[in-house]
Amino acid sequence: MRTPAPRLLIALAMVAFAFLALPLIGLLLSAPWGQMTELLSTPAARDALRLSLVTSLMATAITIVLGVPLAWVLARREFRGRALVRGLVLIPLVLPPVVGGVTLLAAFGRRGLVGQYLYDWFGIQLPFSTAGVVMAEAFVALPFLVITVEGALRVMDIRFEDAARTLGASPTRVLLRVTAPLIAPSLVAGAVLAWARALGEFGATITFAGNFPGVTQTLPLAVYSALEVSREEAIALSVVLLGISFAVLVSLRGRLLGGRG
Amino acid sequence: MSVDARIRTTVGSFEIDVHLTCAPGETVALLGPNGAGKSSVLRTIAGLQGLDQGRIEIAGNVVDDSAAGIHLPAERRRVGFVFQDYVLFPHMTVRQNIAFGPRSTGLDASGVDHWIDALGIADLADRRPSELSGGQAQRVALARALATDPQLLLMDEPLAALDAATRIEVRGRLRHHLAEFRQGTVIVTHDPLDALVLADRVIVVENGRITQDGPTAQVAAEPRTEYLAALLGVTLIRGSAASGTIACVDGGTLIASDTHTAGDVVALVRPQAISLHRERPEGSARNTWHTTVTGIDAHGDQVRVHLAGPPALVAAVTPAAVAELRLAPGEQVWASLKATDVSVHPA
């Protein structure tokens, strides 16, 4: 039997849904469907699309390569200051992305903590480069992967690893043949979330890498720039991003829409 | 020795101090209540957890020696471990599970088929663990452990995850497989029947200490602790004996036909040996008590009647007798016990 619901509750729930749905409907209704191909094939749009795909995939790769080991250490090793490390790892989740960009400048800018030596010794300049875009995206995306994978490692029955060890498996073999397959679904989910976050990155990117077409102007930055010139182009690019978001949601529907995950 | 382990270790605030040995071909049961530290002993031998002090030798190789700073990791100990609920790798088939060990150690994979045949699981080889029954999973777990050609087999509550009917069948089959295993086997269990059926020797562990260690038949016949006596369904009474009279520690006396055993003793009384009467009994029984019923509980087709004593005793009677004697907690009743039914053992 259903519990009777207060009418006010139902009404507010409907307002909330409308609040989320109306902008999306508005976007789709105002999209210049007839000119889509045209609008998206301008050099600026194509550059932004290409740059976004390349940088977000590279950023995702970096989060996997660095994030999985970090998640493992947080889940499996006890050490002093672990709570502090975990807290720091989560900061990019709550930090305004613009501030994230400023912190990146402080560390990797030409006169930053590390950046000055990178520039003086190796001539490497990360801000306002495509590499800087990848860094900004990885910075904001990394926590998503770490918390997803760490959670999976914690929930996993450690005795699977124990069993593998008594069967003579080296730590590397345990990791690759037992741990990794068992947490694979969470790893995929974490990577997709990280990728979606990287793809949508705006604040840290524009602060740390700037907004140079073809070099650092990703899709969200292109949408922002296009708004001042051509509303149609901005909407067309937005529809592309919405499509990607929708695809991510569908691919993760089991986890995010109250399925098994 | 397949294993010779002296272990002193603290798990949380709980202290374990045991010395355990197991000869090749021997099956030893570690019997004890839940939380006695049995599983920790097993995990320590396997190298899955460390020890504070002690020395463990497996097949003559030192794998742990706190004094010398030796601690061999689990993967280099050549120990087969069967976990309580088997912990088969869910992402691998039965065959891949069994082949995991030999592949890890570079062992010849032909052993895999041998164990698949030996344990009669050929028709399950391509299944996933989720498609196996409890009994089947147990066989796969045993095959997986044995396929690494271990120097020692450790089994943690191997039958606990099974339902009662499967248990009987699997227990018999396990006994058969263990008889063929040439190395030592240590089984942790809290079920006396598992220990009695499977083990050559029983080590009783209580509160992190060994309280009894001996051949299975002897341990079964002469339990030395209240826990084990209760587990085996006999009453254990401590006291000191002199010419057949035992002054019980908790008060009262017992007359035994054994007049030779003297000093501190444990007397064992089977509940079936105690008769209950409404009136004072006349007859040959040397022990009689007029005592209070403290509790009654059903035990299969028998009823256990707890008596205040002293000494406190348990009598096993039929439900009909309970009705006839109008037994109830608080009622007075006469109890009798023949001296020949009191078995006396040096404590």
A164–B148 CB contact, under 8 Å: no
Where does B233-346 sit in CATH, by number?
A: 2.40.50.100
- Whether A256 shows a pLDDT value over 70: the answer reads no
Q: Return the closest-CA partner of residue B309 out of B344, B282, B274.
A: B274
Do the interacting molecules here have an ipTM over 0.85?
Answer: no
Which pLDDT tens digit goes with each residue over A164-214?
999 999 999 999 999 999 999 999 999 999 999 999 999 999 999 999 999
Range with the largest mean pLDDT of B48-52, B173-177, B342-346:
B48-52
Chain A: give the shortest CA distance to residue B155, in Å: 12
Taken as a whole, chain B contains a residue count of 347
Q: Is B334 exposed, middle or buried (0-12, 13-18, 19+ CB in 10 A)?
A: middle
Does residue A96 register a pLDDT over 60? yes
Across the interface, whether the CB atoms of B77 and A181 are under 8 A apart is answered no
Which of B80, B104, B145 lies closest to A169 in CB terms? B104
CA distances from A180 to A183, A223, B154 (A): 5, 38, 27
| Angstroms from A77 CA to nearest CA on chain B | 15
> Which residues are CB-neighbours of B249 under 8 A, at least 6 positions away?
B237, B238, B239, B240
Record: contact B77-A166, CB cut-off 8 A: yes
Q: Which of A134-148, B126-140, B160-174 has the lowest mean pLDDT?
A: B160-174
A163 in contact with chain B, both atoms CB, cutoff 8 A: yes
- Is B276 in a helix, a strand, or coil? strand
Please tell me the predicted confidence (pLDDT) of residue A210.
Answer: 92
Chain B contact present for A156, CB below 8 A: no
> Which residue among A159, A167, A182 places its CB closest to the CB of B100?
A167
Q: Say if residue B325 is exposed, middle or buried (CB neighbours under 10 Å; 0-12, 13-18, 19+).
A: middle
pLDDT the model gives residue A24: 92
Using CB atoms within 10 A of its CB, is residue B12 exposed (0-12), middle (13-18) or buried (19+)? exposed
Residues B145-181: b if buried by 16+ CB within 10 A, e if exposed: bbbbbbbbbbbbbbbebbeeebbeebbebbeebbeeb
Half-sphere exposure of B343 (CA within 13 A, CB side): 13
pLDDT tens sequence across B113-123: 888 988 889 99
**Stretch B86-93: mean pLDDT:** 95
Which of A78, A165, A167 would you mutate first to test chain B, the one with the most B CBs within 10 A? A167
* For testing contact with chain B, the best of A160, A162, A166, A172 (most B CBs within 10 A): A166
What is the DSSP secondary-structure string of A171-219?
A: HHHHIIIIIHHHHHHHHHHHHHHHHHHHHH--HHHHHHT---TTTT--H
Of B48, B73, B91, the CB nearest to A181: B91
Pairwise CB contact (< 8 Å): B81 & A166:
yes
Chain A hits for B81, Cβ within 8 Å: 162-163, 166
Residue-wise pLDDT for A71-85, tens only, equals: 999 998 889 999 999
Q: Which amino acid is at B41?
A: V
Contacts of A157 in chain B (CB under 8 A): 87
Topology of domain B3-225, CATH? Rossmann fold (3.40.50)
At B34, the pLDDT band (50, 70, 90 cuts) reads confident
Please report the pLDDT score of residue A1 as a whole number: 59
Write down the domain spans for chain B. Answer: 3-225, 233-346
pLDDT band at B341 (very low <50, low <70, confident <90, very high): confident
pLDDT at A260: 42
Can you list the alpha helix ranges (DSSP code H) found in chain B? 38-46, 94-105, 110-118, 134-146, 164-180, 192-198, 216-221, 226-232, 319-324
Q: What is the pLDDT of residues B226-242, one digit of tens each?
A: 888 778 777 777 788 87
Question: What chain A residue is nearest to B149 in terms of C-alpha separation?
Answer: A167
Residues of B in contact with A175 (CB under 8 A): none
Indicate the average pLDDT of chain B.
86
Q: How many residues comprise chain A?
A: 261
Minimal CA separation from B100 to chain A, in Å: 7
Q: Which among B76, B78, B81 is the nearest to A163, CB-wise?
A: B81
Mean pLDDT along residues B77-84: 93
Of A166, A173, A178, the CB nearest to B89: A178
Ranges A147-151, B130-134, B185-189, B300-304: which has the least confidence: B300-304
- Exposure letters A18-34 (e unless 16+ CB within 10 A, then b): eeeeeeeeeeeeebeee
Q: What is the pLDDT averaged over residues B14-27?
A: 92
For chain A, percent of residues with pLDDT exceeding 90: 66
Which residues from chain B sit within 8 angstroms of residue A164, using beta carbons? 89, 100, 104
End-to-end CA distance of chain B: 29
Residues of chain A contacting B76 with CB distance shorter than 8 Å: 168
Q: Which residue of B has its CA nearest to A165?
A: B75
pLDDT at A255: 58
Instruction: For chain A, give the percent of residues with pLDDT over 70.
Output: 97
Which of B73, B77, B87 minimises the CB distance to A163?
Answer: B87
3-state helix, strand, coil split of chain B in percent (to 5) is 30, 35, 35
Element containing residue B245 per DSSP (H, E): strand B245-248
Chain B partners within 8 Å of A178 (Cβ): 89
Query: With 70 as the cut, is the pLDDT of residue A7 above it?
Result: yes
Q: Do the domains at B3-225 and B233-346 have one common CATH topology?
A: no
**C-beta atoms of B83 and A162 within 8 A:** yes
Whether residues B148 and A160 touch (CB distance < 8 A) is answered with no
Instruction: With residue A151 as reference, give the H or E element that holds it.
Output: helix A130-155
In B, minimum Cα distance to A184 occurs at B91
pLDDT exceeds cutoff 50 at B147: yes
DSSP percent split of chain A into helix, strand, coil, nearest 5 = 80, 0, 20
* Mean of pLDDT values over B139-146: 93
Least reliable range by pLDDT among A119-123, B55-59, B267-271? B267-271
DSSP E strand stretches across chain A? none
Instruction: Find tokens 């348990």 and name the residue.
Output: B314
Specify which residues B201 forms β-bridges with. Answer: B28, B215
Q: Residue B78: list chain A partners with CB under 8 A.
A: 168
Strand partners, B287: B337
Chain B residue closest to A182 (CA)?
Answer: B91
**Domains of chain A in sequence order:** 54-215 (1.10.3720.10)
**Could A170 and B104 be called an inter-chain contact, meaning their C-beta atoms sit closer than 8 Å?**
yes
Q: Does A166 touch chain B (CB under 8 A)?
A: yes
Residues of chain B contacting A181 with CB distance shorter than 8 Å: 91
Query: Which residue from A170, A177, A181 is facing B75, i.e. has the nearest CB?
Result: A170
Chains A, B: CB pairs < 8 Å = 62
- Contacting residues for B199 by C-beta, under 8 A, at least 6 apart: B27, B28, B29, B187, B216
* Single-letter amino acid, residue B51: L
The CA distance from B227 to B204, in Å, is 9
Q: Is A102 on the interface with B (CB under 8 A)?
A: no
Facing residue for A168 by CB, picked from B87, B91, B104: B104
Residue carrying the six token digits 């006596």:
B229
Q: From edge to edge, which strands make up the β-sheet containing B253-255?
A: B253-255, B245-248, B235-242, B263-269, B342-346
What residues of B are in the A interface, CB distance below 8 Å?
43, 46-48, 73-81, 83, 87, 89-91, 100-101, 104-105, 144-145, 148
Give the DSSP per-residue string, B118-163: HTT-GGGTTS-GGGS-HHHHHHHHHHHHHTT--SEEEEESTTTTS-
Confidence (pLDDT) at A261: 36
Nearest in space to A85 (alpha carbons), one of A146, A32, A144: A146
What is residue B252's three-state secondary structure?
A: coil
CB A109 within 8 A of CB A212: no
Amino acid sitting at position B6 = R
Q: How far is A69 from chain B (nearest CA, A)?
A: 22
The per-residue pLDDT of chain A, averaged, comes to 90
Window A:178-237, CB contacts with B under 8 Å:
178, 181-182
Share of chain B above pLDDT 90, in %: 39
pLDDT of residue A254: 62
The closest alpha carbon to A241, from A173, A195, A185, belongs to A195
